[in-house]
Amino acid sequence: MNRPLISIVNSSTFGKHFREHISTLEKFADIQHVTVPADVDADALAEKIKDSDGIIASVTPRFIRKTLEQCTKLKLLARHGIGCDNVDLVAATELGIQVSRVKGIVEREAVAEYAVALLMAASRLLPQGSQAVKNSQWASRSHMVGMELRGKTIGIIGLGNIGSRSAEILSNGFKANIIASDPYIDKERFRQFNATDVSLEELISKSNAILFHCPLTNETRRMLSKAQFDAMQKSAVIVNTCRGELVAEDDLYEALQHGPLGAYATDVVEGEPIDGNHRLAKLNNTIITPHLGGYSWESLYGMGQTCVDDMVSVLQNDGIGGELANPEVLRNHR
């Protein structure tokens, strides 16, 4: 019997820190590492992965219908993360491909803590202060006056798995006033996490800081643009640990340069990866990190183990992935 082939695509961390994850898969499958540009052509990607029985996928590239149709042996595409916006779920379902993802609880603590860390860094100008010392400009500290979080109104867009944890940290730890907008959460959950249920418009106009904790969908894409930036509090801070496409970058750039936006602290950028020549990276009031939100030892282990468990279940035991992004595939292809 031929051994299945598992392709690890664009993941720089799977199996790197926890070798046992690779070792488990190697017991029953052949492994190939595939690295491609984020904007790789669909046919070029398919040429590299078309013989795969399983794929462990990073946040890039995009797995569109044209690629998936050429992967005739593919049974499981396991996202090494929570979001699946780079996978055509409709096409995968029609083709009988299970798409699994990491359960939100695995990354909950890591991403929530990271979001709060970005908020603190932006509010108290930590990167600027550190750079000033490295540039032998200690005296410039008189210009680095920040904002305390205690008592401030902090808006959270999305009070789900990770957003609710950020609300806990900021409410209980900093005594901040939490308001949140999430049409998919029941009222009891707002009370549970000391958050006031408000419309997105009210959140934007009242918040001293705004945290994104929502998925990228057709509804949320570019949800903050010029009209929303114009309605914000003066010197408001935005923290984004979700997807760069949640904001309209042209309008964001203008709001950072000329107000009212005070700072933008983000772990994600549209078109990532980027380099220091990116226009946002050149601004003094931005913090940009290279998609590190889930990069804690605890989270990375859980993410890797989830992918391993799903591969074992589907490819070795002819079963089902643990957390399917397209559960309809089970009804359509029994």
Give 238-281 as a DSSP string: EEESS-GGGB-HHHHHHHHHHSS--EEEES--TT-S--TTSTTT
- Catalytic residue chosen out of the listed positions 21, 80, 108, 291: 291
Tell me which H or E stretch contains 78: strand 76-79
List, in order, residues 6 or more apart from 184 with CB less than 8 Å away. 160
Nearest in space to 223 (alpha carbons), one of 28, 231, 309: 231
The burial class, CB within 10 Å (0-12 / 13-18 / 19+), for 61 is buried
Q: Determine which helix (DSSP H) or strand (DSSP E) holds 212, and give its type and residue range.
A: strand 209-212
Is 272 among the catalytic positions?
yes
Residues 6+ apart with CB under 8 A from 12: 58
Rounded to a whole number, what is the largest CA-CA distance in the chain?
A: 71
- Check if 221 is active-site: no
Q: Which residues of 292-301 are buried (b: 16+ CB within 10 A; e: fewer)?
A: ebbbbeebbe
Catalytic residue among 101, 243, 245, 323: 243
In the annotation, is 213 catalytic? no
Residue 280 corresponds to which amino acid?
A: L
Phi, psi of 195 (to 5 degrees): -115, 140
| Active-site entry in 109, 272, 278, 328 | 272
* Contact (CB, 8 A) for 104 and 162: yes
Catalytic residues: 243, 272, 291
